Structure 1
Amino acid sequence: MSKKRIGILTSGGDCAGLNAAIRAVTRRAIEGYGWEVVGIHNGTLGLISTPVDAEVLDHKTFSGTLLRQGGTFLGTTNKGDPFAYPMKDGSLKDRSAEFIEGFRELDLCGLIGVGGDGSMKILNKLCERGNIPFIGIPKTIDNDVACTEFSIGFTTAVNVAVDALDRLHPTAASHHRVMILEVMGRDAGHIALHAGIAGGADVILVPEIPYDMEKVAAKIRHIYEHEHRSHALIVVSEAVKAADGKPVMKQNDEGRFNYGGVGHVIGEQLYKMTGAETRVTVLGHVQRGGKPAMRDRVIASAFGVSAVDLLAQGKTNRMVAWQHRKVVDVALEDVVSHYNNIDVSGTLVHTARGLGICLGDE
């Protein structure tokens, strides 16, 4: 492949480690192949904007502290699907042709997209329609992208949750309370399970394992009566359903519904059933921000280098993934057709049960 220009964008929710991935793509493209890299602003919105919203990236772009910063300096979006873009009059318009035209206008020969499973589906479909060489890099604090053991941002989010548990424990012990920590994770409970094990939780509730409040209450009573401890820690994933079998959701200012509030529901139920004084902490977007953890920086860097190498090899419609302590590439059609839930018979669930942690089902 001759000298060319490639584009990179970040799409979906932000997380720590995105800037490390953009940096790796830029440095590998320039140092390894003498290519030019164009950073596209605000995800897919940058290519459907008039004029196209983008900038050329080079070594000077990363001469400061971007490697150490959370978020994405290019900006991102988790709304405005180009295939069904919401217009001011309330209608939906297919703007996929504008996305493709924006790509052509920048004179790009390939695109690297850093996103979660939803972004991968949209970007893969857009690039197939426009015959655009595309390589995906997985990122999400939820760690729910299929075919990869880790996605960018997950480790940092777990570290934030563990830090919160470390801070909640002494105040729980001081006031003889049950502290409930509600974490993000959408429909997958990876953050809750990892943080709960690392943070010494007594109860971990995740969407993949239906729970019985009587079992949770029994665990708290056991702690009080047999472990002679007057405090406890509970970690709850935001998508855990309430007693009526429905997830707890709130409507935002834009009219969309988001998960949030199940921790308070469980806290009230637990108080009524046991009399235990409960307090609830909802971490929310705190898990997305902050300085990237070491593993997120390393994996992001490895993903970025490998993504550029795949384009150089003429490969397309692939996603880089972390498997068995190395980077591999997988077909995007395999990624977008699966979802990475917790393996309920896997090692971490077995570990939690072995530690005596209640998962709400036994």
Structure 2
Amino acid sequence: MARGRRPGKEAVHCEGIRMVKRIGVMTSGGDCAGLNAAIRAIVLHADAHGWEVVGIEDGTLGLYERPMRARRLHPEEFDGILLRRAGTILGTVSHGDPFAFRMPDGSVVDQSDRMIEGMRTLGIEALICIGGDGSFRILDRLCRKGGIPLVGVPKTIDNDVYGTDAAIGFNTAVEVAVEALDRLQPTAQSHDRVMVLEVMGRDAGHIAIHAAVAGGADICLIPEIPYSFDNVAAKLTAVRASGRSFSLVVVAEAVRTDKGEPVARPKPDGGIRYGGIGQWLADRIESELGIDSRVTVLGHVQRGAEPIAVDRVVASALGIHAVDLIASGRTGTVAVWSRRSVGELPLAEVVGRSRPVEPDDILVRTAAGLGIYVGETAACPAVP
């Protein structure tokens, strides 16, 4: 009997999918809190079906390398320690596209057949990818080519995966940002300063707007909503005129200058890496308003925290549901969290779409109702 398999548990055969005995799981893209909780749920629930689980290390790179980097995951490994641990025990990368794989000499080669061969060699009959939209797009294409059923589990601190209310890691990232604001407020008050907090948010401002509301910010700038520096200045001036000598500002990393210019630097692979808008804003406030300003950039601190309870719950529920989707033959789907329940959407409906903060989002309206300047939107009243 295979190690970790419970007596009397046989592989489940369901109409629409061949009998499954071994599934693979990988984490892909950026790391975040809650990944290990999802892996744990997948392994424990798969074991209840009598299935083996193979963990693929470092996403698609684990399938490319020879010998491959993959290992059996046994239920007894997943005690309460891993449930609490940040990051991912499998490792993850945000590169390694099988269809455009960058070789050591700089050339780009299609290595999809090599990676499909890797999954077949490992005996993987279905794959669960814990990732974001980019990972789903790549793995969907790879698994379709190889005829391997795929289920996606959404994770991203940006919370911009289409169709899910919460992606794994988002709530913990917000908690880190709110804790930062809680610590910045007393020092801002002590020194009569403007404190600018730059948070992650490459394409969406979910972390920023949630943190601003929960952390009592005066200004929140996000990529989805244009803003005017004149109105930023007017808000800060109004706060001071009210008798309060300090302010808190939250800005997402992908926000552009008021001239529409990105604040970023080039990456070796040709992309760009955001970061610096907080310093640009603080410098502008000091130079034009004469108010002492400081900036704090959270960066990867938001990724590395231990998962808070809600992320452990969401990760566990999505992991269980991903296994159930394979068992029922409903593959080619993404497990989603909606209204405190699980569901699924076709991969084709999720891939290539995003979930930005809409101008009429409840959090935007809530922020505006609290008097937070959130940019030039109908929900935001005129700055006094």
Q: Give the TM-score normalised by the residue count of structure 1.
A: 0.97
Deviation at 1:108, TM superposition (A): 1.2
Deviation at 1:64, TM superposition (A): 5.3
Letter in 2 for 1:6: I
Are the equivalent residues in 2 in contact too, given 1:213–1:360 (CA < 8 A)? no
2:34 maps to 17
1:136 equivalent in alignment to 2:152: yes
Letter in 1 for 2:72: V
Please list, as runs of the form range in 1=range in 2, the aligned pairs for 1:50-89 lying within 5 A after superposition: 50-63=66-79, 65-89=81-105
Q: For each residue in 1:277-319, what CA deviation from the matched residue of structure 2 results, as whole angstroms up to 9, or x when unmatched?
A: 1000000000001110111100100001010011011121100
Deviation at 1:29, TM superposition (A): 0.4
Which of 238, 251, 265 lines up with 2:266 in the alignment? 251
Letter in 2 for 1:250: R
1:271 maps to 286
> What RMSD over aligned residues (CA atoms) do the two structures have, in Å?
1.1
Letter in 2 for 1:249: A
CA distance in 2, matches of 1:300, 1:133: 21
Are the equivalent residues in 2 in contact too, given 1:3–1:34 (CA < 8 A)? no
SS state at 1:83 partner? coil
1:320 equivalent in alignment to 2:335: yes
Are the equivalent residues in 1 in contact too, given 2:172–2:308 (CA < 8 A)? yes
SS state at 1:179 partner? strand
For structure 1, the residue ranges without an aligned partner over 5 or more in a row are none
Q: Give the TM-score normalised by the residue count of structure 2.
A: 0.92
Q: For each residue in 1:170-199, what CA deviation from the matched residue of structure 2 results, as whole angstroms up to 9, or x when unmatched?
A: 000000000000000111000000001000
1:239 equivalent in alignment to 2:254: yes
Which of 325, 329, 332 lines up with 1:310 in the alignment? 325
Are the equivalent residues in 2 in contact too, given 1:182–1:280 (CA < 8 A)? yes
Q: For each residue in 1:122-181, what CA deviation from the matched residue of structure 2 results, as whole angstroms up to 9, or x when unmatched?
A: 111111111110000000000000010100000000000000000000000000000000
Deviation at 1:250, TM superposition (A): 2.0
For structure 2, the residue ranges without an aligned partner over 5 or more in a row are 1-12, 14-18, 377-381
Please list, as runs of the form range in 1=range in 2, the aligned pairs for 1:50-199 lying within 5 A after superposition: 50-63=66-79, 65-199=81-215
CA distance in 2, matches of 1:64, 1:105: 32
Deviation at 1:28, TM superposition (A): 0.2
| Aligned sequence identity (%) | 54
Number of residue pairs matched by the alignment: 360
Letter in 1 for 2:286: Y
CA distance in 2, matches of 1:320, 1:15: 18
CA distance in 2, matches of 1:52, 1:337: 30
Are the equivalent residues in 1 in contact too, given 2:21–2:52 (CA < 8 A)? yes
Deviation at 1:85, TM superposition (A): 0.7
Letter in 1 for 2:302: Q
Letter in 2 for 1:37: V
1:343 maps to 358
CA distance in 2, matches of 1:176, 1:338: 43
Letter in 2 for 1:12: G
CA distance in 1, matches of 2:70, 2:234: 57
